[in-house]
Homo-oligomer: A and B are copies of this chain.
Amino acid sequence: MMSEPLQETETGFDVGAQLRAVREARGLSQRELARRAGVTNGTISLIEQNKNSPSVASLKKVLDGIPMTLAEFFALEQPPCDQVFFRAAELVTLTKGAVSFRQVGAREGQALQILHEHYAPGADTGKAMLRHDGEEGGIVLRGRIELTVGERREVLGPGDAYHFDSSQPHRFRNIGDEVCEVISACTPPYL
């Protein structure tokens, strides 16, 4: 029993439509993709129509023929947003003690967060290290900042940069007596 299409409600987003979109974006036919992936064209047809929900193993095989990873495939889940341009005055300002963040946009569901950060002299994100999912990185524009990531610690100046997995405990401290300015990015957003 149960032979109607599954639809978006079953999986949180439309696997079939997503696969079709990805496949067509590469200009592949169902048969061509099937050949590369080592499955039959019928399988791909059924998946694209949401007439069945592929096993992870099968979906992986199909995506290998694209090629694309499972992570990339499911990362397309979030719908696109709208505002593109942000005037300097429009950046959303968040203040947390001696640290001021100016954020580009503030939308739900976005994968990327960009911040223009100002660390006052002595500013510190706290002795209790930060930890969260995702990746973050940035470039120092002005001043000097001490960054601790796990066991490692360095002082970065203008032009220097950092990039790490946010699940590692980390801490920012302005140990100079000048404001430190940093532009940073983070995926996914966590503030």
Contact = CB atoms under 8 A, between A and B. Distances in A.
A71 B77 contact: yes
Majority secondary structure, A binding face: mixed
B163 A112 contact: yes
Interface in A15-30: 15
Contact of A186 (B52, B112, B162): B112
Given A133-B76, A185-B114, A185-B185, A165 B55 contact: no
A156 interface: yes
Contacts of A81: 163-165
B74 A69 contact: yes
Contacts of A70: 11-12, 74, 77
Nearest to A167: B80
A72 interface: yes
A126 B71 CA distance: 30
Interface in A88-105: 88, 91, 104-105
B85 A147 contact: yes
A191 interface: no
A41 interface: no
Nearest to A138: B114
A168 interface: yes
Nearest to A86: B161
B71 A74 contact: yes
Q: Which of A15, A59, A138, A183 has the most CB of B within 10 A?
A: A183
A91 B160 CA distance: 8
15 contacts: A52-B55, A55-B56, A71-B77, A72-B188, A73-B74, A75-B75, A81-B164, A84-B162, A85-B156, A85-B162, A86-B163, A112-B185, A114-B138, A116-B139, A185-B187
